[in-house]
């Protein structure tokens, strides 16, 4: 369990580092958008902020919902396996019932 946690932490750290050090991600600016926003009044800036929120909120909520659903289903699957008598440690150990040795 500890090794699995360390592996997940290492993958998350690697993903964060990859996102931080991607130079093309920082250089994506639209010159037209920048000049329009800079020359716009307060009302236009507020409309731009509202538009950004409208475009960001649905994918965020969808992602959170998907994570919740996957987590919930994973727990249901684990509970049904434990009720059926399946144990991960028992299934990983080779059975001693067979008389033949593997080559």
DSSP string, 9-36: HHHHHHHHHHHHT-HHHHT---HHHHHH
Predicted local confidence at residue 18, as pLDDT: 79
Rounded Cα distance, 53 and 61, in Å = 12
Per-residue model confidence (pLDDT) at position 23: 65
pTM over 0.75: no
Q: Which residues contact 40 (CB under 8 A, 6 or more apart)?
A: 48
Chain position carrying tokens 């250089």: 27
pLDDT tens digits along 41-85: 888 888 888 888 899 999 999 999 999 999 888 877 777 777 666
Q: How far is CA 20 from the centre of its chain?
A: 16
Would residue 85 be called left, alpha or beta, if left means φ above 0 and alpha means ψ between -120 and 50 degrees?
left
Confidence at residue 88, expressed as pLDDT on a 0 to 100 scale? 54
CB atoms within 10 A of CB 72: 10
- Report whether pLDDT(95) > 60: no
| Listed range (4-18, 57-71, 87-101) with the worst mean pLDDT | 87-101
């Amino acid at each position: 369990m500890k090794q699995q946690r360390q592996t997940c932490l290492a993958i998350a750290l690697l993903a964060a580092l990859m996102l931080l050090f991607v130079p093309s991600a920082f250089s994506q600016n639209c010159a037209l958008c920048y000049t329009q926003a800079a020359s716009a009044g307060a009302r236009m800036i507020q409309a731009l902020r509202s538009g950004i929120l409208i475009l960001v909120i649905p994918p965020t909520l969808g992602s959170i919902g998907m994570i919740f659903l996957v987590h919930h289903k994973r727990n249901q699957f684990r509970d049904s396996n434990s009720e059926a008598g399946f144990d991960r440690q028992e299934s990983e150990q080779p059975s001693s019932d067979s008389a033949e040795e593997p080559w």
